[in-house]
Amino acid sequence: MLRDALRLIGWVVPGALALWLFHHLHFEWSLNEQYNYGWAVPFLSAFLFYLRWPSRPAAEPLQPRGRLRAASWGILALLLPVRLVEEANPDWRLLSWTIALLVVGYWCIALARPGGGGWVRHFAFPVCFPLVSVPWLVQLENAVVQSLTGAVAYVAVEIASWVGIGAYQLGNVIQLPNGIVGVDEACSGVKTLQAAIMVALFLGELLRLSGSRRLVLLLLGAGWVFACNVARATTLVLVAATRGLDALKDWHDGIGTAVLVLGMAGLVAIAWLLGRSDDAASSAPPETASGGTVRMSGSIAQTTAAIAWLALIFAGTELWYRGHEQRLVARPEWHTRWPTEQTAVREMPIADETQAILRYNHASSAAWEDPRGVIWWTFFARWEPQQTALQLVRSHSPEICLPAAGRNFRGELPPIVLETGAAPLRFRVYEFEQGGHPLFVYVCIQEDKIAPGTEARHAGEWNLQGRLRAVANGQRNLGQRLLEIAVIGLQNAGQANDAMARTVRQIVVPGAATG
């Protein structure tokens, strides 16, 4: 019994780091439907590791062991600043990749110390497999989203024209004579693509396909999933054209589920066919480990020291933020009041899909015309203090949403700070093109508390300096307010900024929102 315990003690620190990684990622898996598949990844990774364990090569510990020990402690030392930054920036995807790579690196070192390079190579796939559940960097994801939505819309429009349906592509949406099939209905395909990549990699490992066949499986799987998404979008276009836009609600979920099942079934079929033709290459008996007791890396003293260091990291981070939170200053409360004196103002309903994605505590939206020919759209939302508030509020990004709805993104303009009767508000400014006219979008995200002396122009920054400033100020888990305003009918950014200054002073009022 004691011998078994000694053999398992080396797994404690790598296991704790894996739990940390999955705990960090689970917020994205829960909040972002695109990454729901991540919940399966830890179990699949453990299963693949279990399958490879009996066929592990004979242990050949690397020498000198001191370098591996130094490398493992180097990773553990880096986890202290990483943890501090993580607490204030749970939504930062670059940080997610940093944590994931550090954990994978530690696992490789932990395997190399008792088993040498042979063990690292043998277990590399299951150890690295969790990387498929890490959210893509925003720039990469945006590029893929826009490319796929545009490609799916283009092919669906072409197919619709073949069967006599008048449709044309408007950005990343499909225009029909009786209305528009939006990006949600037309399907961006990113969610299915990412899940397909995970499944293809898992099946390739499960069937022990050769490297070239795994690549073929990955490419064919991606192509098959794209074809399924084109079929989904085309079917929804046909439904909308023949039965009306209202029928989409009845058909949307059923078609989506059918396409998802068809896509995964196609992946399994492709993997099975590749596996059958690869049987001869994989028929050799697997290499098995030499006899004897296998002890994971690290003595009891080293493992105890590593566990104590991890506990110190989390305890120190908590003390840092709790100490600073006592010095944070509450910002004045404010909310929006739409200009009801404008006869054209109207409350805008918020789609159920938007509510499900943003999960706000309170929200409202309105549109009006002032002056004649200048159209305003507004959206205000409020999140109470919670650990996921920052991720939820920042999941709504106009440079992603508006191009998917047919607007062309021209670029981000310099931010502006506008004075209101409640508090100065800092807005990020985006310029789009809609129907040949400039469309300006202003986004203000403001936290409930701020460090003393922080300038308004620095509040709410998303860049590297802003994120590190949040760490230094001990800002975390704060309530959030989002105000997004879009205006069309003005010729340039200067006119739009001047009109915004007047409009914000009119609609932003002190106090908490009710209702």
* Residue type for position 85: V
Q: What is the C-alpha to C-alpha distance for residues 199 and 167, in angstroms, rounded to an integer?
A: 34
Amino acid letter, residue 284? A
Instruction: Name the band, by pLDDT with cuts 50, 70 and 90, for residue 285.
Output: very low
CA gap 455, 452 in Å, rounded: 9
CB 9 within 8 A of CB 300: yes
Rounded CA-CA distance 480/436 in Å is: 34
Name 66's Cβ contacts closer than 8 Å, sequence gap at least 6: none
Taking the CB of residue 35, how many other CB atoms lie within 10 A of it? 22
- Distance CA(11)–CA(368), nearest Å, equals 62
List, in order of start, the domains of the chain with CATH numbers: 2-135+297-325 (no CATH), 138-277 (no CATH), 329-510 (3.40.1000)
Residue 43 in tokens = 């179990």
Q: What is the pLDDT of residues 89-132, one digit of tens each?
A: 988 999 999 999 999 999 999 999 888 889 999 999 999 999 99
Cα separation, 475 vs 50, in Å, equals 41
CB 172 within 8 A of CB 146: yes
Give residue-wise pLDDT tens across range 442-493.
Answer: 999 888 888 887 765 556 667 788 889 889 988 888 888 999 999 999 989 9
Question: What is the rounded distance in angstroms from the CA atom of residue 86 to the CA atom of residue 222?
Answer: 33
CB count in 10 Å sphere of residue 268: 13
Task: Pick the closest to residue 482 from 434, 426, 400 (CA basis).
Answer: 426
Q: What is the pLDDT of residues 296-333, one digit of tens each?
A: 545 788 888 999 999 999 999 999 999 998 888 888 88
Tell me the CA distances in angstroms from 60 to 68, 116, 117, 460, one per residue in order: 14, 5, 8, 52
* Strand 179-181 relative to strand 173-176, pairing: antiparallel
CA dist 310 and 276 (Å) reads 47
Q: What is the pLDDT of residues 376-398, one digit of tens each?
A: 999 999 988 887 777 777 766 78
- Is the pLDDT assigned to residue 261 strictly greater than 70? yes
C-alpha to C-alpha distance for 278 and 289, rounded to whole angstroms: 24
Question: Which residues are within 8 A (CB) of 105 and not within 5 positions of it... i.e. 6 or more apart?
Answer: 71, 75
Model confidence over 55-79: pLDDT tens digits? 999 888 776 778 888 999 999 999 9
pLDDT at 196 over 80: yes
- Rounded mean pLDDT, 265-281: 81
Buried (b) or exposed (e) across 346-379, using 16+ Cβ within 10 A? eeeeeeeebeeebbbeebbbbbbebeeebbbbbb
Q: Single out the residue of 483, 397, 492 nearest to residue 439, CA to CA.
A: 492
pLDDT digits (tens, 9 = 90+) for 330-380: 888 898 988 876 667 888 888 777 777 788 888 999 999 888 889 999 999
| Residue 285: both structure tokens together | 């008996």
Please say if the pLDDT value at position 425 is more than 60. Answer: yes
The neighbour count for residue 163, using CB atoms within 10 Å, is: 10
Structure token pair of residue 405: 């709805």
DSSP 3-state of 191: helix
Do the strands 508-510 and 179-181 form a parallel or antiparallel pair, or are they unpaired? Answer: unpaired
